Amino acid sequence: MEKNSENTLQESIKTLVYNLHDEYGWFNDEELKNTPKRIENFYREWYGTRNFTFTKFKVSGHESMVIMKNISFYSMCSHHLLPFFGTINVAYLPKPSGYIAGVSKLVRAVNKIASKPQLQESMTSEIVDLLYDNLNPLFVMVTAKGQHMCMMMRGVKQESATMVTSSVKYSGIVRTELESLKNEALKMMGE
């Protein structure tokens, strides 16, 4: 896809907004005056959260699960370009003499992956992949609970429906240990 210049992006947004206005009569011209710039600024700010340095620390002797619960996220459905939002829980088990994440980095990892149009299922798996690739733990698990505006505002119009997704990645443990780790993580997450 060809990269647009700032003015071309604003002109494209302006064309879309004015076409919607012409079709449905939603706005007056004064309300629309700065809308293209505001939309562009929103996307630049939102997408800008994708840049951060993943800080990790070498640890020895830590053999317990690390959990970060109730991380708020905001993302956008790639089908309708409408928001979905909710909470994410992250659990990982460092390898003995492995790595732990800087505490804010778990939140930043969620923000990085969430700040683009996508499906919730993909988002959950990508967060697991990012954590697994950076920490190389024995086990990492992510659960996400999301409410989707594309289901609330249109289509089935379900205001209270919540989508729940999970993803797990592991190495160096046997399958029987995996079930035990998943159960421990879910219990600690309050699931």
Q: What is the model's pLDDT at position 84?
A: 98
Range 107-125 average pLDDT: 97
pLDDT in tens, 31-65: 778 888 999 899 889 888 788 899 999 998 788 99
Q: What is the model's pLDDT at position 186?
A: 93
Percent of the residues in the chain that have a pLDDT greater than 90, as a whole number: 65
Q: Which domains does the chain have, with CATH numbers?
A: 6-48 (no CATH), 56-189 (3.30.1130.10)
Cα torsion angle, 134, 65, 139, 95, sign = positive
Q: 16 pLDDT band (50/70/90 cuts)?
A: confident
Strand partners, 101: 56
CA distances from 149 to 117, 152, 154, 158, 163 (A): 13, 5, 8, 9, 12
Residue 1 has pLDDT above 70, yes or no: no
The residue type found at 88 is: I
pLDDT in tens, 147-190: 999 999 999 999 999 999 999 999 988 888 999 999 999 999 98
Q: Locate 55 and state its tokens.
A: 């800080």
